[in-house]
Amino acid sequence: MTETEVTKKPGGALLSSVQMARFVARGSLRLDAVVPEEMNAEALRVLARGMAPVPYGTPVSQAYAQGSFAQRLLELPQVAGALHSLVGGEPVVDHHAVHIREPHGGEAQPLHADAIIDVRRDAFDVQLMYYPQEVTLEMGGTLSVPGSHLRRTNETDTGRYQNLRGQDRLVCPAGTVVFLHHGLWHGGRRNDSDTVRYMFKIRFAPRERQRLLWDTADLHDPRVRTELDVHFPWYEQAAGRLERYNRVLLWRELTGDDTFDLGDPWVTRVTNRPAAAPAPARSEEDAA
């Protein structure tokens, strides 16, 4: 799915409310071919040499040298705008990694969520995945399961599953950037092509509350509710209700609107906490 509706703002192209709702429901945001061709060519050289690690918790403005490839990648308007919309200004770098798959080499990763010891429901990290070259089906790009990010698992608990209905096996043009919620189930595929495949990943953690950080001009657009109510093929009927429930909780947190719900009161009926004092008992004299 390609995201194209962006609103130009100083310092970046912020996401719309429809895009944010799509991220909340799907757990990912894809920006096709947003990195220029000349930067993609440079990236292949940079990633082949490897990149020095960044200490955990380094603010993004201090993580990469001025003028470096990584800094320029993060300053691209659509990348910068999406990152700000998701995790706010000046997030910190959790870690980064260069993933290289040799031709006709490697094994498919088990389906997993990255280090999912994280049980926060009012915040999330995002992972930026950058693909500097065209990824074909034969090259075996990243596989992910849309809508799986709010189903809490511990790392490779899902590793015994080989395929799930509705899974997405990435095929994309060069210069594509994908943002993933830290809980999304995913795994790299083996490379069956004759081409070395590169991917650069950075995980970001927010330092400010993730509330209304995007362009909210379309906050009440009916498409927001449509995006949040989407169904994915791997859901069981009852579990699909659970996923919608969790989306509503996250959307309430992101918007500050604790009255928001979908058509059926998924959350309202569960969060009801009567606060009124009980009526005093009536005596027999009162009853007479």
Write out pLDDT tens, residues 11-25: 569 999 999 999 999
Tell me if 251 sits within 8 A of 218, measured CB to CB.
no
Q: Are strands 28-31 and 142-144 parallel, antiparallel or unpaired?
A: unpaired
Tell me if 14 sits within 8 A of 84, measured CB to CB.
yes
Domain limits at 22? 7-205
The identity of residue 56, as a single letter, is Y
Q: Give me the pLDDT at residue 239, please.
A: 67
Confirm whether 89 is domain-assigned: yes
Q: Give me the pLDDT at residue 241, please.
A: 84
Q: What digits encode the pLDDT tens for the residues 50-63?
A: 999 999 999 999 99
The identity of residue 139, as a single letter, is M
Q: What digits encode the pLDDT tens for the residues 197-229?
A: 999 999 999 999 999 999 999 999 999 999 999
Domain count for the chain, please give it. Answer: 1
Confirm whether 22 is domain-assigned: yes
Confirm whether 121 is domain-assigned: yes
Bridge partners, 203 (sequence order): 95, 127
Confirm whether 252 is domain-assigned: no
In percent, the amount of the chain with pLDDT more than 90 equals 66
Q: How confident is the model at residue 240 (pLDDT cuts 50, 70, 90)?
A: confident
- Paired tokens of 124: 């999330």
Tell me if 132 sits within 8 A of 40, measured CB to CB.
yes
Q: Residue 10 pLDDT > 70, yes or no? A: no
For the chain, how many residues are written?
288
Q: Give me the pLDDT at residue 115, please.
A: 63
In the chain, the N- to C-terminal Cα span, in Å, equals 71
Mean pLDDT on 189-196: 92
Q: How confident is the model at residue 288 (pLDDT cuts 50, 70, 90)?
A: low
DSSP state of 158: G
In percent, the amount of the chain with pLDDT more than 70 equals 89
Q: How confident is the model at residue 135 (pLDDT cuts 50, 70, 90)?
A: very high
Q: Give me the pLDDT at residue 1, please.
A: 41
- Paired tokens of 188: 């790299």
Q: Residue 120 pLDDT > 80, yes or no? A: no
Can you give the CATH number for the domain in which 98 is found? Answer: 2.60.120.620
Q: How confident is the model at residue 6 (pLDDT cuts 50, 70, 90)?
A: very low
- Taking CA atoms, 104 is separated from 18, 99, 115, 140, 210, in Å, by 40, 15, 28, 10, 42
Q: Residue 116 pLDDT > 70, yes or no? A: no
Q: Residue 42 pLDDT > 90, yes or no? A: yes
Q: What digits encode the pLDDT tens for the residues 80-104?
A: 999 999 999 999 999 999 999 999 9
Q: Give me the pLDDT at residue 177, please.
A: 98
Mean pLDDT on 139-160: 84
**284 against 15, higher pLDDT:** 15
